[in-house]
Structures are given as structure tokens and as C-alpha cells.
Copies of this chain bind each other. A is one copy, B any other.
């Protein structure tokens, strides 16, 4: 299997060399001085893992750029929870180093927009209250690679997504400990501590506002899949916003503020806006809540005739995924598939299997999930930056059965 994966990577890389990867690198360079970029994002070779996340499993990843690494569709695993070494990486700022972070238990979180503003150490948060929850981390641009127009950014297909189990302190417990919300607040704004000082906050500060109601589910986490959150996934403390796109799960979080307005930095105001092709601006919706979605994980290219187990993952976004159907004829006819494996709540995805028999021939296998009374649409919602793709057709796979 590793051989096959590398092959796919290599053809993919050459396709990308002339377009998106170069564009992505240029975009990064415009924000970040080269000295910082190279100090933090040094590749170990053209196809290697960056040194700051060398513990990842290379064969599980498609490397789009030194800040964008996608989990291969075949490497997501069948165990619902994505193995940490296989989980995708998407960075806006350089990953903080151990030296920059220092003693993890002394990491500070400033809390504002509450009756009694406070600063907590991580050690204090651990003793205030704890919650463990499985959530999906999904880049807003997951599925961008399926868009037909020329979209800037990593050409993610299915693998800028992972289902993970986090442990942290509920934002609701912090608010309670701070005497409740200040008046007039509408947003929960989280700020990363990862911006190098010499950069301009308006352009480079990772600060994201989500509706204040999201505080009921949100938490600040120090653990993922049973270990301290690795630096490259935003440790020692990361905002977790169940049901919301990845960008809102702010890495290296240093401040939580309840605010009357959305943050005015670029990453809130102009980036991550779902606008029509050719248009942009803060009047368009931000990448907040995720939608119902599913995709096939196996088989991917070929299968032997006879018994075939089709499997995949299905998510509801902010609603519990209730139903999953599979078609082996590109959507002409559908059959109900069954969920298997633990149901970890509405913010996790579920694994599904469809046990069938296939004769030799060509098949287009697609899946369609439903949640909260809504099903996945057939087609993508066209938009400038290729965000929030949940159309079922593009996510299908073409299989040869022999």
C-alpha cells in the first residue's frame, strides 16, 4: 500500500508544481519573512516531512506544500478516530517550537469580555473542569481539488479532515468562573499566540470570531487522542469548536474574548469567506458551521469480483448524521448502507459499510449522507476559494472490478 500511495503523490505533485503549490508558496511568502519561514518549515527533502512534524507517517500523507499536508484517502483508517500520525496539517503561521512554548503547564490563556477578566495557566485550567469529546477537524477548503475553476490554495480532495478525541476545559466553565459574560457580547473570539512579532497583526494574526452561542460546545484542549497536543497541531492549548470548520479551532490559543464585533484581522474579515467566483469581501458568510458530508474510503481503484465491502465515513456537521446511502452506478440507484463502530456523538463522524457482490466491470461508487432532515447535494456549491464542498458526485470513486 505505501508504494501505491507514493505513486499517487508523485503524479499529483507534478500536476501541482505548475499551479497551486507555487501560488500557495507565494502567498505565504507575502506574509512571512523568509527567515522565519525557513526556520520553521524546513523540508527534509523534496518529498520529505518538514522537520517540525517529522513524527508524521510520510506514506499516509500527500504533501501539497510545507504548510499543507493531506491524509491520503486510504490512510484515514477504519477505526473512526484518525491516527495522529496520519492527520492532515494546515498552518497559517509557523508551528511554535518547544523553546517558544516553554513549560506547557505555565502556558497562559487570557479571558476577556466576561464580568471578571482573568488569566489562567494551563495547570489551572486542568483543575477547573474537564471535558472529553470527539470532533471533526476539517479544513474549509477540503474538497477544493474537485473544483473546476482555477482555485488558489492547497488542492485538498478528502484528506483535510480528521476525527479526533480531545480533552480540555469547557469554555462554559471558564465563563462561569469569571462571573458570567459581559453585556452586549455577540461573538467568541479566539486568538493564536503563534504570530511572529515582526508581522502585522492585521495581516497575520490568527484570530477567529464565532457566534457567542458556540460557547456551549467549545472548549480549550490540551490533549488529543490520549497525548499532549503536539506543537504542529496547536499545542499546548488549542481552541476546539465542535461542528465548526478547522480554522475556528485556533492553534496555540492565547486569548479568548467575548466581543461585540467580529475580529477585524484578515483571517476573519476577508479570508475564509464563501463568495461567488470573482467576488470577495466580508459581506459573504464566514467558514463557520460544517455541513452534512460523506465519502468512500475503500475500495479506491480496483476490487476482485464477488464479495466486496464498500466503506467510508459520514458526518452531520452540527447535526447527528442519521442515514447513509451508497450507489455503485454513479447515483442512478441507491441502497442503504449500515453504520458500524462507535457512535461518538453528533460532532464525530461515523464509519459506514455496504456489503455487496460485484461482477467484473466499471463502477462509479458514491455515497450520500443525511442529517437533520437534509441530504448532501449532488453538486458542489461553486465559490471563489473552493470552500465547504459537500456535493456527493465529486467525492465518488471509479472502480474496476475484475
Residues of A whose CB lies within 8 Å of any CB of B are 76-84, 86, 124, 126-134, 165-167, 223-227, 303-304, 306-309, 311, 340-345, 348, 351, 353, 355
Contact = CB atoms under 8 A, between A and B. Distances in A.
A78 B130 contact: yes
A341 B83 contact: no
A226 B307 contact: no
Contact of A78 (B77, B132, B306): B132
A79 B309 CA distance: 30
Contact of A306 (B127, B132, B166): B127
Nearest to A347: B342
A84 B225 CA distance: 10
Given A127-B306, A306-B127, A309-B126, A351 B81 contact: no
A84 B226 CA distance: 9
B128 A309 contact: yes
Contacts of A353: 129-131
A79 B355 contact: no
Contacts of A341: 131-134, 165, 167
Given A82-B226, A130-B311, 16 more contacts: A79-B223, A79-B224, A80-B132, A81-B165, A81-B226, A83-B226, A124-B307, A127-B309, A129-B355, A130-B309, A130-B340, A130-B355, A132-B342, A132-B351, A133-B342, A342-B348
A178 to B, nearest CB: 14
A78 B340 contact: no
Nearest to A76: B226
Contacts of A133: 340-342
Nearest to A227: B83
A165 B80 contact: yes
A84 to B, nearest CB: 8
13 contacts: A77-B225, A79-B167, A127-B308, A129-B353, A130-B355, A131-B341, A132-B340, A132-B351, A133-B341, A165-B341, A342-B344, A342-B348, A343-B343
Nearest to A129: B355
A192 B329 CA distance: 42
